[in-house]
Amino acid sequence: MSLDKKDLQPLGEIFGFPIDNETERSKRYRTNKLCPYNNIVSNCTKNSVEFPLGVCSLNHKDKQVIICPIRFREDWTIISDAASFIFESKTAWTHVGEVKLKDKHGKSAGNIDYVLVSYDNKGRVLDFGSLEVQSVYISGNLTGPFTAYLEEPTPLFSWTKALKYPKPDYLSSSRKRLVPQIIAKGSILKQWNKKQVVALQSSFFNTLTSLP
């Protein structure tokens, strides 16, 4: 059985675009190392400001697995979806990012990725809730294929025989990161009777056990 060309390399999206996207817009983003997904600055800053690892998603079994949390900001859909879950309809709301959370002893319980806040016509806070975003960790070497592709960008790029071929590490993403985050922050939010929303890609969610 012959393999589809998408199965021959691990790069899903580079600076926001699949490598077989050869439009002038995609080339401009790659050349200038730009981020199309509402990063805090115009450029990609993944791992490094000067030399960013501009891989948004990993190509795994011909599916795109998101490995950069900024990728979830496309069109701010996660924010509006979270707001529709937390607040009543037609509620005025906004959001802030990276909010420090402390426990009852005043010790840090980590940062909340986004806090959504509803307010009245005088700007007074009425309610709030949290949104956590979890992309997928990877194992293996992604820098190698990324660097090789940038040296000679082509839709025909392949990377099939390299050592430490990159792949998603779903177990570490859930056990070491997602679940401890939900428990630590969620226990505080539950005491406040506030809602907690978690944004995951469906391929990651499908690897989890049933959650109560």
> What is the predicted pLDDT for the residue at 160?
81
Contact 136, 59 (CB under 8 A): no
Query: What three-state secondary structure class fits 202?
Result: helix
> 47-72 burial, b if ≥16 CB within 10 A, otherwise e?
eeeeebbbbbbbbbeeebbbbbbbbb
In this prediction the pTM is 0.88
Q: Could you tell me the residue ranges of all domains in the chain?
A: 5-205
Backbone angles phi, psi at 191, to 5 degrees: -65, -30
Q: pLDDT 10s per residue in the chain (212 long)?
A: 344 455 689 999 999 999 999 999 999 999 999 999 999 999 999 999 999 999 999 999 889 999 999 999 999 999 999 999 999 988 999 999 999 988 888 888 889 999 999 999 999 999 999 999 999 999 999 999 999 999 999 999 998 877 789 999 999 999 999 998 888 899 999 999 999 999 999 999 999 988 77
| 170 Cβ neighbours under 8 A, 6+ residues apart | 136, 204, 207
| 107 Cβ neighbours under 8 A, 6+ residues apart | none
Q: Measure the CA–CA gap between 63 and 7, rounded to whole angstroms.
A: 9
> What is the predicted pLDDT for the residue at 178?
92
DSSP-assigned letter for residue 92: -
> What is the predicted pLDDT for the residue at 7?
62
Strand pairing category for 196-199 and 125-133:
parallel
Residue type, 49: V
